[in-house]
Amino acid sequence: MKLLAEMFTVAPANKDHRVAIRCAVGVFVPLITLVLLDRLDLAIFASFGAFTGIYGRGELHRKRLFIQVRAGSLMFLVMLLATLSARSSDALGLSASASSWLLVLATTLVAGACSLVIARWRHRPAGSLFHIFAFAAIASIPNQPPLWQCMLVALLTTVFCLLLGLSSRVLRSRRTPWDMPPPVRITPDERRSAWLEAVGYLVAAGLAGSLATLVGQWLGFGHNYWAMVAAVVPLVGRTTRHRVARGVQRIIGTVLGLILLAGILLLHPVPWQTVLVIALCQFGAELFIARNYVLAQVFVTPLALISTLLAAPAHPDLLLRDRIVETVIGAAVGIAVVLAPTAWARLRR
């Protein structure tokens, strides 16, 4: 009961609305620009480029800029590798099954590598969830626009988010000292933890992706990378109980988010309204992500699926079905990976 109460407890606000506004503007302006240019085929690159703004949320301006430059550069590299991977699959003429397994392998490597980099940099949010999502979502889209256009949109969105991160400096009352704290060297224990965490991401993402691919081929489901994203959610947490709770919260929040999404889709929004919904969902996600994971997922779920619909239109019913199935598979795998060391230790005793 205590664990259940904790899952539905909303922590006090800590100026979260400021970060939420920056992130919402950071995704709305690039996307509405693409709507006006009639280039929604590039929307996914703007959406992931805008993830730059979620890092360094509570830091001084100079350190925030430093963190966001590194985070944005890593995300840009992930998007570049993803679009090159998609082009390679098209050029090789791989079958759908071979492409799915290649996507699982490549995304698993990205999961482990980016987790290690983020841990070594001590960035928050921790882990490689966003990098897994970005790489797999982009790499799974066939017949993409020219490479230079994709990367230009990603770069311009990243730069725009960097400017937003410094925008409050125009107000003297909000201007922070232009100081940079001295770097803190990573300790041997932190280095060891980073490597162990990277192994956890490799195992969780690889197992979830493989299981989701097998189940998908058997029952006709798609979007196996959603299982990989859900699988790494429980890996971020202070204690085993907290990590298991995050996995359960992911499932509950996804179900509630799908109900919200179904209501939105019934309204049949036009492109500019869809972009507005994405911005509002981004605002809600950032407003609650540090306070209650279930509430945050209520906004994250429609945000992710609507962004997917912009990049690769599909039947909404299939997306809703795939999302819940893949989330359950991924969260179950993630929880199992979290509990495995404790179970192994008890078996040894």
Task: Render pLDDT for 38-75 as a digit per residue (tens, 0 to 9).
Answer: 998 899 999 999 999 999 888 888 899 999 999 999 99
% of the chain residues with pLDDT over 90: 46
pLDDT of residue 8: 66
pTM, to two decimals = 0.91
pLDDT-derived band at 6, boundaries 50, 70, 90: low
pLDDT of residue 7: 63
The maximal CA–CA distance of the chain, rounded, in angstroms, is: 64
Q: Where are the alpha helices (DSSP H) in the chain?
A: 2-7, 16-36, 43-49, 61-92, 96-121, 129-139, 147-166, 188-219, 225-232, 240-266, 271-288, 293-311, 316-348
- Whether the per-residue pLDDT at 95 is higher than 80: the answer is no
**Span 26-41, average pLDDT:** 94
Task: Render pLDDT for 108-120 as a digit per residue (tens, 0 to 9).
Answer: 999 999 999 999 9
Non-local CB neighbours of 53 within 8 Å, separated by 6+ positions: 19, 22, 23, 26, 68, 161, 164, 165
pLDDT of residue 185: 82
The CA–CA distances, whole Å, from 303 to 24, 157, 265, 277, 307 equal 11, 17, 12, 8, 6
Query: What is the rounded CA–CA span in Å between residue 87 and residue 93?
Result: 10
| Whether residue 177 has a cis bond before it, omega within 30° of 0 | no
Mean pLDDT of the chain: 88
Task: Render pLDDT for 112-143 as a digit per residue (tens, 0 to 9).
Answer: 999 999 999 988 888 899 999 999 999 988 88
Per-domain boundaries in the chain: 14-171+189-348
Total Cβ atoms within 10 A of residue 35: 19
**Span 170-185, average pLDDT:** 78
- Whether the per-residue pLDDT at 172 is higher than 80: the answer is no
